[in-house]
Amino acid sequence: MPAAGTQWSARMSAEVGKAVLGQLPIIERLQIALLTGGHVLLEGMPGLAKTLLVKSLAQALGAEFERIQFTPDLLPSDVVGTMVFSPADGRFSPHHGPIFANLVLADEINRAPAKVQSALLEAMQERQVTLGGTTHPLPQPFLVMATQNPVEQEGTYPLPEAQLDRFLFKLLLDYPSHEDELQMVRRWGNVTSHPQLAAVSSGAELLKLREEVDRIHVADSIQAYIVTLVRATRTLASGGGRVASSAEKTLAYGASPRACLGLFQAGKALAWLRGTDFVTPAAVQEVFADVMRHRVGLTYEAESLGLTADRILADILKSTPVPGSAPDTP
């Protein structure tokens, strides 16, 4: 039922739009993350409504939402929980932390030290938390949406590559348009003005929708196209290729096989949201940079030339042959 995708997307976007004006491409990417169960890293300047966006998404989904403000003195137990001693019976019992929610906002994630990052890593990858030697599964659906400020780097801990690779998307938020910003002032300029959102979906519905996304057809040629695009980043990293924008080696390392899975799943979810029952090369190209920009590392030479990950990825798209968009017979 491809039409169900456009209807669900319209419902969610309209409800989130009551609180967040503009940012429609970002809202669509967050919907893809919900449909694929992928985590999202949001990067943008302060005041761009990153926190409000994630909170509004949780309200529209009718899901349990928790916000964790990451600071340098944060402890792993502040995130996952701890064992609490009960004097009444002389036993320890688990006290769940804020990670036990459907949507978890890790605000300014790069301000937390390595111990906290490693605790979060198990939750992101395994969808479980270990307390007192006992494994506790996290609720379903479960997503981590993390934010970071690209400007303030003093006192921050850069995310390790292993953790970055766990994020399906890295999304770059830009300033709103003049019209959207003017509308925001008119709508929310009063001190007593606050957006009121209602749940237009549910976690149970989302889990069923994921089954519909899984039925989207991906032709063999599109699957090969996805793998070729990801492997092209490794070719650049090994020195076996050059992008059009530079004769120097531009990538220090390429994307992992997890990037292939992310690109495959994101392409299927985008096709479902757009109302089609098969993935086209255009759908893969549209999500390519969002899936890949945090999975590749630039060399010093590339940085000195002013190149960016997005520029290099765009060159890879241009230089990779595109298969036909017609679907093969399922």
13-52: pLDDT as tens digits: 989 988 888 888 899 999 999 999 999 999 888 878 888 8
Helix (H) or strand (E) holding 10: helix 2-16
- Res. 152 pLDDT band, cuts 50 70 90: low
Residues 203 and 250 in one domain: no
Return the pLDDT at 109: 87
Work out the average pLDDT over 64-89.
86
Residue 301 lies in a domain: yes
Residues 45 and 94 in one domain: yes
- Least-confidence region, from 30-39, 91-100, 320-329: 320-329
Question: By percentage, how much of the chain surpasses pLDDT 70?
Answer: 93
- Least-confidence region, from 5-9, 50-54, 64-68, 159-163: 159-163
Residues 187 and 65 in one domain: yes
Residue 136 lies in a domain: yes
Angle at 169 between CA 243 and CA 99, to 5 degrees: 150
Q: Residue 136: pLDDT above 90?
A: no
For the ranges 46-50, 112-116, 255-259, the one whose mean pLDDT is highest: 255-259
165-199: pLDDT as tens digits: 999 999 998 888 898 889 888 887 777 777 788 88
Residue 325 lies in a domain: no
Work out the average pLDDT over 84-109.
85
Longest dimension (CA), the chain: 71
Residues 187 and 310 in one domain: no
Residues 243 and 140 in one domain: no
Q: Which residues of 84-95 are buried (b: 16+ CB within 10 A; e: fewer)?
A: eeeeeeeeeebe
Cα–Cα dist 14/251, whole Å:
40
Q: Which two tokens stand for residue 87?
A: 């004097």
Angle at 268 between CA 263 and CA 270, to 5 degrees: 90
What is the residue-wise DSSP string for 218-250?
--HHHHHHHHHHHHHHHHHHTTS---TT-SS--
What is the residue-wise DSSP string for 85-121?
EETTTTEEEEEE-TTSSSEEEEETGGGS-HHHHHHHH
The domain in which residue 229 lies consists of: 216-319
Residues 182 and 119 in one domain: yes
